[in-house]
């Protein structure tokens, strides 16, 4: 059971790294390729921070934090028997690994997916970021549902 999540993690990291390899080899920094005008494009940027460029220049701190998250996800992934829990941990792990590879070997994260929604340009991101966001949302939902389940059990025992 757990083996397929490890394989899926590896495949997502490979997909992330191959997409970044494509961008690096076909774009110059800040080059754009418009897919849907005024909505979706590829735009190559080099992010030395985290989301929205926060902590730019804090590469070592970000690498350490990434390693902590990776360690926790590996530990936590094997604490539960729930497939959805495995899946959420696998997504977070995949994204953290994909961006860690960039930070260690390039010194920056390759971001390239860009959306403009209602005239507002959103943060530019990559496949690893998508994995982390979806994984964290599922993880939070699971924690909420588990907390609700515990509260419901406590209420019924009174």
Mean per-residue pLDDT, 85-89: 93
- Looking at residue 126, its pLDDT comes to 97
Q: Give the Cα-Cα-Cα angle 84, 8, 91 (nearest 5 degrees).
A: 50
Instruction: Give the pLDDT confidence of 101-132 residue by residue, as tens digits.
Output: 999 999 999 999 999 999 899 989 999 999 99
| CA–CA gap between residue 107 and residue 99 (Å, rounded) | 10
**Residue 64: closest CA among 105, 96, 24:** 96
Q: The domain containing residue 109 runs over which residues?
A: 2-145
Q: Has 129 been annotated as catalytic?
A: yes
The answer to whether residue 158 is domain-embedded is no
Q: Has 152 been annotated as catalytic?
A: no
The answer to whether residue 151 is domain-embedded is no
The answer to whether residue 29 is domain-embedded is yes
**Which residue among the candidates 102, 111, 152, 154 is catalytic per the annotation?**
111
Which residue in the block uniquely carries the two structure tokens 């804090």? 58
The answer to whether residue 150 is domain-embedded is no
The answer to whether residue 45 is domain-embedded is yes
The answer to whether residue 126 is domain-embedded is yes
Q: What's the domain count of the chain?
A: 1
The answer to whether residue 156 is domain-embedded is no
- Looking at residue 156, its pLDDT comes to 59
Instruction: Give the pLDDT confidence of 33-66 residue by residue, as tens digits.
Output: 999 999 999 999 998 877 656 666 677 888 888 8
Instruction: Give the pLDDT confidence of 90-100 residue by residue, as tens digits.
Output: 999 999 999 99
The answer to whether residue 152 is domain-embedded is no
Lowest average pLDDT, out of 10-14, 32-36, 77-81, 153-157, goes to: 153-157
Judged against a pLDDT cut of 60, whether residue 144 lies above it is answered with yes
**Which residue among the candidates 129, 152, 154, 155 is catalytic per the annotation?**
129
């Amino acid at each position: 059971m757990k083996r397929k999540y490890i394989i899926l993690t590896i495949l997502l990291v490979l997909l992330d790294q191959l997409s970044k390899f494509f961008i690096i080899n076909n774009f110059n920094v800040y080059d754009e390729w418009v897919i849907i005008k005024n909505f979706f494009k590829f735009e190559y940027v080099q992010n030395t921070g985290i989301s929205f460029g926060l902590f730019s220049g804090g590469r070592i701190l970000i690498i350490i934090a990434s390693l902590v998250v990776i360690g926790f996800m590996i530990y936590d992934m094997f604490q539960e028997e729930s497939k959805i829990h495995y899946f959420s941990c696998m997504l977070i792990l995949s994204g953290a690994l994909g961006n860690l590879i960039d930070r260690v070997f390039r010194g920056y994260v390759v971001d390239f997916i860009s959306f403009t929604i209602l005239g507002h340009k959103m943060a530019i991101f990559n496949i690893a970021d998508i994995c982390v966001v979806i994984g964290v949302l599922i993880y939070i939902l699971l924690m909420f549902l588990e907390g609700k389940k515990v509260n419901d059990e406590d209420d019924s025992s009174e």
